[in-house]
Amino acid sequence: MIACGARLEVVAVPGVPLVGAGADVPDLVVRAIGEAGLVLTDGDVLVVTSKLLSRAEGRFVDLSSVGPSARAVDVARTVGKDPRLVELVLRESNSISRQAPGVLIVRHRLGFVVANAGIDASNAVPPHAPAGSGPWALLLPEAPDASAAAIRARVEAEVAAGASVGVVITDSFGRPFRMGTVGVAIGVAGLPPLWDRRGEQDLFGRTLEQTITALADQVAAVADLVAGQAAEGRPLVLVRGLRFDAVTQTASTLLRKPEEDLYA
C-alpha cells in the first residue's frame, strides 16, 4: 500500500555539522532528530545527502596526488577536462556512455548513468586540509543502500518510538533530455523505490496501463529543494505525508537495464 494525501511537509532538520572522515552518520541523524524534538510517525522519510556520507567515509581525493593513466589523458583531451579528474571518473565507472567537449557521462560502478561519475568539487575540502593542498574532489559514497539501511535501523531502534520510516540517500543528477539537475535517490531503505499504479483507474474510469512512479526519486527531488546545493548546510531533511508498507527493495530497483537504456 502506498498513498499520498493532499499535503506534504518538507523540513530541514538542524544540527548536523560539516563532518570529516570517521563521523558516525547514523548517530548524527539520531542526535539531530532528538535535539529538534521531532516525533517520527509511520510514513516519515528521512532524506540524507550523499555528500554527508561521502565526507564521513573520507571519500576526499587531492587531485595533486592522482597520476592519470594514458587512457585518462586521451579521454581528457577529447572532453577538455583535467586528466586527474578523468582518471578518478574512470576508476569509479564501468564504462563510458558519452564523451564530447565538456561532457563525460559514464555508467557508475553502482549502476546508474551520471556525469563525471558523480564526483563533485563543491564542498569537497576535508577538515584541516594542509595549506596549499588540492584542488580537492569528493567521490560518491561506497555503498549508499547499505548506509540507508544502517541509518534506518538506528533511527527505528532509538528515536522512532515504534514508527516505520524510510530513508533515502540523494545526489543531484543531470538528465540527457532536460536542462538543470534534480535530486535523485542513490540509496533507499524502507521506502518503495517504485510506485506501480498499473491497474488503477483514472478520473474517467480508464485503467492505467503504463504508470509506474519513481517514488524515491520524487522524494529526493522535493527534499533537494530544501537541502540546497550551495552553502545551505542542510544535509538532513524530513519528508512527511506519505503512507507506505515497508519493503526491502533498494535503489537498484530504479535502474533501467543497460540493454533497455536508449540514452546509455
Q: Digits of tens for pLDDT over the chain (264 positions)?
A: 888 888 999 999 999 999 999 999 999 999 999 999 999 999 999 999 999 999 999 999 999 999 999 999 999 999 999 999 999 999 999 999 999 999 999 999 999 999 999 999 888 899 988 888 889 999 999 999 999 999 999 999 999 889 999 999 999 998 888 899 999 999 999 999 999 889 889 899 999 899 999 999 999 999 999 998 877 889 999 999 999 998 999 999 999 888 888 776
| Rounded alpha-carbon distances, angstroms, from residue 10 to 20, 57, 117, 227, 242 | 26, 27, 28, 10, 11
What are phi and psi for residue 109, nearest 5 degrees? -60, -25
d(CA 127, CA 203): 55
pLDDT for the residue 257: 86
DSSP state, residue 191: S
Look at the chain and count its residues. 264
Q: How far apart are CA 6 and CA 197, in angstroms?
A: 18
pLDDT reported for residue 129: 87
**What pLDDT is recorded for position 155?**
97
DSSP 118: G
Q: How far apart are CA 259 and CA 256, in angstroms?
A: 8
Place of cell 597520476: 67
pLDDT at 214: 95
How many CB atoms lie under 10 A from the CB of residue 119? Answer: 24
| Nearest CA among 156, 158, 177, 176 for reference residue 166 | 156
Handedness of CA 143, 156, 233, 21 (dihedral sign): negative
Global confidence as pTM: 0.94
Integer CA distances (angstroms), 16 to 125, 152, 176, 254, in order: 17, 17, 33, 28
What is the bridge-based pairing of β-strands 236-244 and 113-115? unpaired
pLDDT given at position 14: 95
* Residue 262: per-residue pLDDT: 77
d(CA 164, CA 246): 7
Write down the pLDDT at residue 264. Answer: 62
Gap between the Cα atoms of 229 and 105, Å rounded: 20
The reported pLDDT for the residue numbered 232 is 82
Element spanning 151, H or E: helix 144-158
Q: Residue with C-alpha cell 523505490?
A: 193
CA–CA separation, 176 vs 45, rounded Å? Answer: 28
